[in-house]
Amino acid sequence: MEQTLDCRGMACPLPVVNSKKASEELRAGDILTVLVDNEVAVQNLQRFASHKGYVSTGEKKSETEYTVVMTITGAGTAAPEEAIACHQDTRRKGMLVVLSANTMGSGDPKLGTALMKAFVFALTKQDQLPDTILCYNSGAYLTCEGSESLEDLQLLESEGVTILTCGTCLDFYGLREKVAVGGVTNMYEIVERMEAASQIIRP
Amino acid sequence: METQVKLTKLATCAGCGAKMGAGTLAKMLEGFKTHSDPRLIVGYDKSDDASVYVLSEDLALIQTTDFFPPIVDDPYLYGKIAATNALSDVYAMGGEPKLALNILCAAESMEDKTIREILRGGYDAAYEAGAIITGGHTIKGAEPFYGLAVSGFVHPDKVLTNSGARPGDVLLLTKPLGVGILTTAAKAGMAEGAVMDRIYRQMATLNKTARDIMVQYPVHSCTDVTGFGLLGHSYEMAQGSGCTLHLQADQVPYHPEALEFADMGLVPAGAYRNRDYAQPGVKVCREIPLALEDIFYDPQTSGGLLIAMPTEAAEACLAELQKQIPRAARIGYVTELQDAAIKLE
């Protein structure tokens, strides 16, 4: 099958977005032709094609008319992580850390606070970092201003770890404006992330 | 977000990616009459971050302005990022911002409360910087934009230009790259909310902390990495200083998600412009994935400081920086001019 997409007049990144959608409907051997009106779109489409493992050619017809022709291959998506030699992704896929309180273990709260601080610090020192950290109930305090773990969590976040705090909990403790690291989430996403995790760690 | 009209939908260009190319601009300004004044120690001819005018023996005025269309739908965050970005040029010169004026163009479709939120973001950034917004100018137009004109002060002997790097210096960078690619991915609806929260927070973080630490050390040269990307700004520093900047590709901090998005073709037009501009001066000395190169050319909105200082001082300075800015990193070094202005190693 051959399909032609007219992406002329579309601002970046729409040509790539539309080509991605179209290519998902196509099968191996199909040909996707994309019309665009600028050189940047051609280069981005060629990056997209090689990302997917498709063979592509770009052609300039005039100053405002370019075509990119891609031959769709099977599920031959080139894994980008493997292609990168310089920077290693140190996150372990599927590893989820749940911080359900601002203290660790039950007993003296002062000790519990110190333990939690040490736990988050130790997390930053691991060779393999978690994919995601979920904070709920009084765990919400950990991601907010004044938290002793803030710098460690910010470091983890900067390494690519997704940090999410329960919105209901933030509202309950009056912390909504104080979040200083990560995003805010809801119970659906908490459940989904837990279901999807291959490993859940709870201090 | 309760914004009725999505702010970013009102903009055709994203953030500093909207910046006009350096070459185009220089051509346009050619041949105009200007007074020459020995007190103007950094002027437009230097292609630096801001102009610097000496007022007295111990005081120089820094002036700069910056504004751009919405890069995020939340008006408060947009205002804060635009103001933070405008204030950054003063920090890049080693100075402290003191006075600022709002520059705002509001679209007809924007509600008053949206405009108020943009301004609130700007005021919060200025407040945090210790600067006072004293007024400004607001118009209505088709495409909104916001930013500040900022005045700051610095001791004339402590001015940091982008042309002072010396052989033997070490290069430090205070914010990870990839912001332009990630905002493009967000426009495509492909970047996760939590990732973008991190990016927006980074863009809304002032370079004040980095500047305050940096000025305690013998810095030779500084610039902020914004619209021209790491390689564009490095190229300016290399040319201005008459040195070669060696950038160590595996030491440069960036947001890991940007790599996959660049690979997928979500590269903003500004990155291609920057490549056109700087590539003639860049020698790639090792195998580097195209997507990583894209990140090095990626235009940054409210990016970090690129600092050149002697090796001995750099170690202590970096340790101090990392206490408050964990992702600050040593990304390379400076030598006498070699066969290329920039070497990617």
Domain parsing of chain A, residue ranges:
2-71, 91-201
Q: Is the pLDDT assigned to residue A86 strictly greater than 50?
A: no
Q: Are residues B87 and B179 in the same domain?
A: no
Of B262, B122, B258, the closest CA to residue B196 belongs to B258
Phi, psi of A48, deg, nearest 5: -60, -45
Q: What mean pLDDT value characterizes chain A?
A: 86
Cα distance between residue B270 and residue B227, in whole Å: 7
Of B325, B169, B316, the closest CA to residue B247 belongs to B169
b/e burial code for range A52-83 (CB count within 10 A of at least 16 → b): bebebebeeeeeeebbbbbebbeeeeeebeee
**Which residue from A16, A17, A160 is facing B256, i.e. has the nearest CB?**
A160
Q: Is the pLDDT assigned to residue A17 strictly greater than 80?
A: yes
Other Cβ atoms closer than 10 A to B47: 17
The residue-averaged pLDDT of B124-146 equals: 94
Q: Is the pLDDT assigned to residue B309 strictly greater than 90?
A: yes
Residue-wise pLDDT for B160-200, tens only, equals: 999 999 999 999 999 999 999 999 999 888 998 888 989 99
Helices assigned H by DSSP within chain B? 22-28, 75-92, 112-129, 179-187, 193-203, 208-214, 229-241, 256-263, 269-278, 290-297, 311-324
Reduced to 3 states, what is the DSSP secondary structure of residue A130? strand
The residue-averaged pLDDT of A49-73 equals: 91
Cβ pair A85:B263 closer than 8 A: no
- Is residue B1 situated within a structural domain? no
The secondary structure of residue B254, as a DSSP letter, is B
Q: Are residues B144 and B233 in the same domain?
A: no
- Is residue B153 situated within a structural domain? yes
Other Cβ atoms closer than 10 A to B167: 13
Q: Are residues B137 and B274 in the same domain?
A: no
Q: Is the pLDDT assigned to residue B26 strictly greater than 80?
A: no
Q: Are residues B117 and B177 in the same domain?
A: no
Q: Which of B158, B185, B204 is the last residue of a domain?
A: B158
Considering only A134-138, B14-18, B115-119, B328-332, which range has the smallest mean pLDDT?
Answer: B14-18
Q: Distance from A109 to chain B by nearest Cα, in Å? A: 27
Whether B16 sits among the annotated catalytic residues: the reply is: yes
Per DSSP, what are the bridge partners of residue B139? B105
Higher pLDDT, B36 or B10: B36
Cβ pair B268:A157 closer than 8 A: no
The one-letter amino acid code at B202 reads: Q
Q: Are residues B133 and B191 in the same domain?
A: no
* Span A91-201 CATH architecture: 3-Layer(aba) Sandwich (3.40)
- Is residue B163 situated within a structural domain? no
**Residue B172 near residue B306 (C-beta atoms within 8 A):** yes
Q: Is the pLDDT assigned to residue A80 strictly greater than 60?
A: no
The residue-averaged pLDDT of B281-303 equals: 95
Q: In whole angstroms, how far apart are CA B103 and each of A81, B191, B303?
A: 42, 30, 20
**Which residue from B289, B294, B327 is facing A84, i.e. has the nearest CB?**
B289
The one-letter amino acid code at B325 reads: I
Reduced to 3 states, what is the DSSP secondary structure of residue B245? strand
Q: Are residues B43 and B16 in the same domain?
A: yes
Q: Which pair of structure tokens corresponds to residue B330?
A: 């040593």
The answer to whether A21 contacts chain B (CB < 8 Å) is no
Q: Is the pLDDT assigned to residue B4 strictly greater than 60?
A: no
Q: Are residues B222 and B120 in the same domain?
A: no
Residue-wise pLDDT for B29-82, tens only, equals: 788 888 889 999 998 766 777 899 999 999 999 999 999 999 899 999 999 999
Cβ pair A43:B264 closer than 8 A: no
Q: What mean pLDDT value characterizes chain B?
A: 92
Cα distance between residue A159 and residue A154, in whole Å: 9
Q: Which pair of structure tokens corresponds to residue A90?
A: 């140190």
Q: Are residues B206 and B279 in the same domain?
A: yes
Reduced to 3 states, what is the DSSP secondary structure of residue B338? coil
Q: Is the pLDDT assigned to residue A79 strictly greater than 70?
A: no
Q: In chain A, what residues touch B254 (CB-CB under 8 Å)?
A: 87
Of B307, B321, B158, the closest CA to residue B245 belongs to B307
Per DSSP, what are the bridge partners of residue B282? B342
Chain A residue closest to B271 (CA)? Answer: A40
- Give pLDDT, residue B3: 43
Q: Distance from A170 to chain B by nearest Cα, in Å? A: 16
Q: Are residues B57 and B149 in the same domain?
A: yes
- Give pLDDT, residue B2: 42
Q: Has the ipTM of the complex gone over 0.90?
A: no
**Residue B146 near residue B82 (C-beta atoms within 8 A):** yes
Chain B residue closest to A45 (CA)? Answer: B265
Q: Which of B158, B179, B196 is the last residue of a domain?
A: B158
Cα distance between residue B70 and residue B147, in whole Å: 10
Other Cβ atoms closer than 10 A to A200: 15
Residue-wise pLDDT for B189-248, tens only, equals: 899 888 898 999 999 999 999 999 999 999 999 999 999 999 999 999 999 999 999 999
B22 pLDDT band, cuts 50/70/90, is: low
Phi, psi of A178, deg, nearest 5: -100, -5
Q: Which of B13, B16, B285, B317 is catalytic?
A: B16
Cβ pair A85:B188 closer than 8 A: no
Q: In whole angstroms, how far apart are CA B197 and each of A1, A49, A198?
A: 41, 29, 25
Cα distance between residue B43 and residue B53, in whole Å: 8
**Which residue from B12, B250, B327 is facing A11, i.e. has the nearest CB?**
B12
Q: What angle do CA B114, B123, B60 make, to 5 degrees?
A: 140
The residue-averaged pLDDT of B105-130 equals: 95
Cβ pair B263:A89 closer than 8 A: no
Q: Are residues B85 and B178 in the same domain?
A: no
Q: Which of B158, B183, B211 is the last residue of a domain?
A: B158
What HEC string does B71-96 produce? CCCCHHHHHHHHHHHHHHHHHHCCCE
Q: In whole angstroms, how far apart are CA B308 and each of A17, B166, B173, B217, B282?
A: 40, 8, 9, 11, 18
* CATH number for the domain formed by residue range(s) A2-71: 3.30.110.40
- Give pLDDT, residue B256: 92
**Residue B106 near residue B227 (C-beta atoms within 8 A):** no
Pairing of strands B243-247, B342-344: parallel
**Residue B301 near residue B178 (C-beta atoms within 8 A):** no
- 118-157 in chain A: CB under 8 A from chain B: 151, 154-155, 157
Q: Is the pLDDT assigned to residue B16 strictly greater than 70?
A: no
Single pTM value for the model: 0.79
Residues in chain B whose Cβ is within 8 Å of chain A: 12, 176, 184-185, 187-190, 192-195, 197-198, 201, 249-250, 253-257, 259-260, 262-269, 272, 287-292, 294, 326-327
The answer to whether A16 contacts chain B (CB < 8 Å) is yes
Beta-carbon contacts below 8 Å between A and B:
99
- Is residue B2 situated within a structural domain? no
Q: In chain B, what residues touch A157 (CB-CB under 8 Å)?
A: 198
Q: In total, how many domains does chain B have?
A: 2
Range of the domain at B177: 169-344
Residue B115 is part of a domain; what is its CATH number?
Answer: 3.30.1330.10
Q: Which pair of structure tokens corresponds to residue A124?
A: 């930053």
Q: Are residues B254 and B220 in the same domain?
A: yes
Q: Is the pLDDT assigned to residue B10 strictly greater than 80?
A: no
